[in-house]
């Protein structure tokens, strides 16, 4: 009968409702000890009791260590949050990762145990992503792969399920057409006077917007005709955060084209306070960083005046990089001028130099004419 106990000289056996047998005894420390498992037959249960009694008689008995608790299940949500928190990354990058996780990854993988994510899950998620936003799609996949690569290094998963070839790569959804010299001139003339130098430095020195907005009087060397880039400002959750440029290579000195320098000097005299730490392009209070949103309205009007409604502020940097390539800058020179940490990043602008073939041919003809 289920629940029936068998009392013996040593220990006790009991038949469970499942039909299996449980054995227990009062140990030398006067605390009852159950067998670590149940037995198929009563004889097996009694055999275990006999072995335990022998260990006590021989003085070999020790209370067994309590079993280790089962490992907690680590979800993708918990692990990815820890992954982002422990990266040595800039606040803007962290904000970007958190956005990708919240918007694109956690709805699918958040509650899944890390070890349960498989290649079929990843392919299904990838297929559900909007192909009309290739950059977001590629960055989301790259982030998922990076998180799971770290989980693999931590021995939390046996292999990385991200196996879609080329999924981290993307082509530009929008082809950037650099501005011409004439268009830059029109845009500069159409901008409010206090922002004209910003457009000139962006276009002719190929500075990032965050670098431009953190330039200070002491960064401009008028005699040498250079601007020193050591800081950048980014907007994180609507607040300015000042840090270093995008990469270590971003800290650099950039030569200002001679035809631009007089306008920079005029800007320093008219719109920049005298202290060396004074911002070149301050906000309304004269001391805080200028909010990028302040530029959008005058920028839209200026680009419309130039017939370039497609041109973004960031495209000024692309324009400056393309013109530098057309002027004959080598890959290494482009890399240094743009503050890129790899040659590959500068390589995209070399295609513009192909357009110089006619200029080169014309120059060759002029060489022969000069000898006549």
208 in catalytic set: yes
340 in catalytic set: yes
What distance in Å separates the CA atoms of residue 200 and residue 143, rounded to the nearest whole number?
36
Query: Beta-carbon neighbour count of residue 243 at 10 Å?
Result: 15
* Closest residue by Cα to residue 122 from 152, 99, 145, 90: 145
Residue 216 · residue 280 · CB < 8 Å: yes
Q: Cα dist. 252→90, 110, 318 in Å?
A: 19, 41, 18
The residue from 25, 141, 195, 349 that is catalytic is 349
DSSP conformation class of 73: P
The residue from 208, 216, 308, 318 that is catalytic is 208
* Strand partners for 12: 7, 24
* Strand partners for 279: 216
* Closest residue by Cα to residue 316 from 158, 193, 208, 228: 208
**Tokens describing residue 129:** 């992503």
Residues 6 or more apart from 251 whose CB is under 8 A from it? 229, 230, 244, 245, 339
**Tokens describing residue 171:** 């082509």
The residue from 32, 87, 300, 314 that is catalytic is 314
349 in catalytic set: yes
Residue 353 · residue 325 · CB < 8 Å: yes
The residue from 139, 216, 303, 317 that is catalytic is 317
What distance in Å separates the CA atoms of residue 247 and residue 326, rounded to the nearest whole number?
25
DSSP line for 256-318:
PPTTTHHHHHHHHHHHS-SSTT-BSSB-TTSSSBPPHHHHHHHHHHHHHHTT-TT--TTHHHH
Residue 78 DSSP SS3: helix
CA dihedral 37, 40, 44, 45 (to 10 degrees): 50
What distance in Å separates the CA atoms of residue 139 and residue 96, rounded to the nearest whole number?
10
Catalytic positions, written as ranges: 208, 314, 317, 340, 349
């Amino acid at each position: 009968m289920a629940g029936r106990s068998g009392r013996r000289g040593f220990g006790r056996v009991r038949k469970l409702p499942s039909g299996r047998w449980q054995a227990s005894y009062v140990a030398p420390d006067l605390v009852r000890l159950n067998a670590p498992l149940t037995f198929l037959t009563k004889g097996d249960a009694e055999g275990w009791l006999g072995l335990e009694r022998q260990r006590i008689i021989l003085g070999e008995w020790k209370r067994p260590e309590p079993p280790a608790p089962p490992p907690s299940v680590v979800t993708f949500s918990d692990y990815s949050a820890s992954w982002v928190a422990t990266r040595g990354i800039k606040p803007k990058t962290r904000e970007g990762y958190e956005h990708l996780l919240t918007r694109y990854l956690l709805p699918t993988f958040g509650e899944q145990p890390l070890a349960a994510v498989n290649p079929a899950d990843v392919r299904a998620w990838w297929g559900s992503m909007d192909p009309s936003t290739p950059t977001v799609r590629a960055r989301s996949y790259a982030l998922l792969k990076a998180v799971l690569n770290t989980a693999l290094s931590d021995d939390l998963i046996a292999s990385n399920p991200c196996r879609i070839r080329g999924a981290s790569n993307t082509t530009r959804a929008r082809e950037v057409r650099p501005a011409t010299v004439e268009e830059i001139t029109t845009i500069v003339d159409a901008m409010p006077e206090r922002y004209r130098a910003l457009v000139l430095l962006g276009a002719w020195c190929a500075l990032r917007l965050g670098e431009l907005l953190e330039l200070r009087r002491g960064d401009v060397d008028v005699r040498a005709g250079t601007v020193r880039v050591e800081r950048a400002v980014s907007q994180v959750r609507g607040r300015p955060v000042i840090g270093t440029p995008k990469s270590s290579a971003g800290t650099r000195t950039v030569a200002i084209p001679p035809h631009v320098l007089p306008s920079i000097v005029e800007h320093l005299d008219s719109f920049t306070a005298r202290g060396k730490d004074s911002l070149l392009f301050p906000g309304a209070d004269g001391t805080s960083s200028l909010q990028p949103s302040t530029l959008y309205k005058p920028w839209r009007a200026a680009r419309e005046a130039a017939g370039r409604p497609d041109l973004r502020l960031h495209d000024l940097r692309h324009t400056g990089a393309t013109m530098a390539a057309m002027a004959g800058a080598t890959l290494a020179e482009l890399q240094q001028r743009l503050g890129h940490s790899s040659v590959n990043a500068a390589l995209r602008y070399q295609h513009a130099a192909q357009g110089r073939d006619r200029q080169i041919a014309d120059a060759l003809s002029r060489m022969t004419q000069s000898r006549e």
